[in-house]
Structure 1
């Protein structure tokens, strides 16, 4: 997802720009009389269930007298005592009370606030089992939502060390019991879970968060209160260059006034030698969006530098950049393999963002044309091509459904189309435009197996066959899984 980011409950949801508003599983929600009459359970009832799978949000899935029960914190194979919290016509949600018999794959999560934070939905499951479950999530989506059969789904590509991989963190800041706190929002709320560190964040990100808390308290910085829309400091955003070791701190304020801001910035850089940029971002709006439109450099420079492979990228406070660069190389490498380039192809890269995939592909084809509707991202893509001396990539700002037919009218023939859409997937006109251009191969990169399966099912009705899908674990210990699909034209 590219563009403004919301302030939701988990590190990954925050990165995707989602805002989760589901009722908490501990909240009792009254049923209608009809639901009460039809359901075998009621709010407040304690039931014993065996977990047989995982839901799309990482919750355990069980059955009770034929009714599907979702239990956050459950692992497949667990026998659980759960308290029913919410009842719907076809399912219920329940809170975990006790593990009566643990799954062989259940482990002790290292994070002391994992249940309260909710950001790492799978820390209680052994990493190898996480990879198997994520593959199964993809298989189920393809079969049930895409109505596809015969597709090879490879084992999920995981990390050797699935910790401290995130190069970006956004911490909401609050005030509680006379001190500054920072962490993540509890699921479905805007209540901040105060943390000392997050085990999936880069250590520099945790260090920045801790030092800002200390300095904000020392200098008496007024902390933002979203209920009254008063105070100054709203969020701390930390970015780290994995390949360079450079770090950036972004202090998001409720307006342009930031007493002691420059002093705090200089002290931050003195305390953290890797910090090369401290930026004030101004966001005066009543909104869940974390970043505002205006940024000011308080100390150092306005960007950090990082690499994907040997490609170099400048990253500003608002730049979209993959949060797990190590696995990004794995993901892009698989996309390059599925593209099957021989050097003479024209590749069209839809939803190209700042050009990361485009530049990866450009070295092994004749030409890459990137299309992206966000003009600022297109400007970044052009600059990234210049910086990396890639001369056979060009970028167009516009709607893919409009620009692809226009390219065809100009005589451009797309041999391969690569697309990496937002989490919601592709709009129908984009898929229709792909089919009309008739590339011999489509490489679909997705962060959501459900929308991927839906779109692959649509492409199947347009003359394309999904050959194989490679899941890649970009976000260990969370329920999210990235995929690359190889799709071939049936008559190609």
Structure 2
């Protein structure tokens, strides 16, 4: 058996796609995760991580011997092997990208939740998968050079634009990258639906305060919603995603006037405000967010909907469920949980509809248990990671809820990322 180390090159026949933007190949019984490849291609791959004793290797396809019919030329000069870590699918045609993502979602649901589901990834409004991104962070190295991070590295690659960014941001990148930026760690760029373009330099090692305020306007079935956000606020990066996701969540939730709705991981209120309007003056909307800056903006954005309240705090804390222990601190045979906080009296004992949009890691088994204990008639889960969706779908099934409609959106073209919105209802007793 030939040993492979970083820098080794080997000819591979590429296998199926896998979660994370790579394909699976095998060499003499060893698994190799190959980026910049497509299924059934024959490639020369260069090992980038791993070696003797590693469970698996990572590699880049640096030469294509037999190309797939779905292969296209990347539009960005730093999108290939050794380049930027952002656009890992620029070598794949747009229809094949969407099929790639659909395959990954279906595989994660099958493996983690025991569900067989045909998945279709829907496009959003963009220019063939380019010029859609409204937020970009430029890293700045010790020499003051600004650019994009190299894949799985702290190295900075200077660029003169970004083909997936909206033109206003590409123009700013071209203006900023020839200059030196001493003492700066990150330059955050944002372009809003109202035409504002923000450029914020964050000093190296300094805590961020959220930055200045921006305005986003989101069209909804109940009229336009104006949201105040901070320059550092989390907000969907595809210019069409806020509209599409609000429409999909409202359609999935089917909130009736007078109902109680719980919006978990609410951010600045992208879903909270439309959900509160759907519940009406006789209903109630409880929005939960842990980030202090986002919570203040959430309360401001809900100010015109008196039926809504913003709760500041972690979702698990407010539900009174045990936090998971931080990694590396499980000593003495512990079960992986730490202290159990008291349930907040402000959390409702029941809800008609629950919407949750957790971070990439998912909502956690104990939070899902607290949600199902509310006995909502509908749960709407917004997921940016298919593996987290698969795991939490399994927990929801354990709690008596079955997945109904599942919609997947190509909110991050040219990358392996995808957004899903799933509806769950109580299984028949």
Question: Structure 2 length as normaliser, TM-score?
Answer: 0.84
Whether the aligned pair in 2 keeps the contact of 1:111 and 1:199 (CA below 8 Å) is: yes
Whether the aligned pair in 2 keeps the contact of 1:151 and 1:466 (CA below 8 Å) is: no
Query: 1:204-243 to 2 correspondence within 5 Å?
Result: 204-213=168-177, 216=179, 223-224=181-182, 232-241=183-192, 243=193
* 1:270-327 deviation digits (Å, cap 9, x = unpaired): xxxxxxxxxxxxx44xxxxxx62385xxxxxx33322122211223222222212302
* 1:89-148 deviation digits (Å, cap 9, x = unpaired): 5533233231011101000001011121121000000011101110111000011122x2
Report deviation, 1:157: 3.6
Task: Give the match for residue 489 of structure 1.
Answer: 426
Task: Give the match for residue 397 of structure 1.
Answer: 312
Equivalent residue of 1:307, what SS? strand
Please point out which of 384, 389, 393 is paired with 1:447. Answer: 384
* 1:443-468 deviation digits (Å, cap 9, x = unpaired): 11011111111111011111111123
Please point out which of 235, 241, 244 is paired with 1:327. Answer: 241
Q: 1:345 to 1:294 in 2, by over 3 A?
A: closer
Report deviation, 1:62: 2.1
Pair 1:368 & 2:305 matched: no
Query: 1:277-292 to 2 correspondence within 5 Å?
Result: 283-284=205-206, 292=208
Task: Give the match for residue 251 of structure 1.
Answer: 201
Task: Give the match for residue 89 of structure 2.
Answer: 122
TM-align CA RMSD: 2.5
Report deviation, 1:249: 1.2
Unaligned runs of 5+ in 1: 1-38, 218-222, 225-231, 255-282, 285-290, 296-301
Q: 1:444 to 1:67 in 2, by over 3 A?
A: same
Report deviation, 1:150: 4.1
Task: Give the match for residue 323 of structure 2.
Answer: none
Whether the aligned pair in 2 keeps the contact of 1:471 and 1:482 (CA below 8 Å) is: yes
Report deviation, 1:248: 1.1
Q: 1:393 to 1:70 in 2, by over 3 A?
A: same
Pair 1:338 & 2:252 matched: yes
Q: 1:155 to 1:197 in 2, by over 3 A?
A: closer
Q: 1:404 to 1:65 in 2, by over 3 A?
A: same
Pair 1:476 & 2:413 matched: yes
Please point out which of 380, 396, 401 is paired with 1:459. Answer: 396
Task: Give the match for residue 11 of structure 2.
Answer: 48
Task: Give the match for residue 294 of structure 2.
Answer: 377
Work out the CA distance in 2 between the residues paired with 1:294 and 1:202.
22
Task: Give the match for residue 99 of structure 2.
Answer: 132
Across the two proteins, how many residue pairs are aligned to each other? Answer: 394
Unaligned runs of 5+ in 2: 321-342
Whether the aligned pair in 2 keeps the contact of 1:426 and 1:455 (CA below 8 Å) is: yes
Report deviation, 1:393: 1.9
Task: Give the match for residue 167 of structure 1.
Answer: 134
Report deviation, 1:42: 2.6
Whose helix fraction is larger, Structure 1's or Structure 2's? 1
Question: Structure 1 length as normaliser, TM-score?
Answer: 0.74
Pair 1:142 & 2:126 matched: no
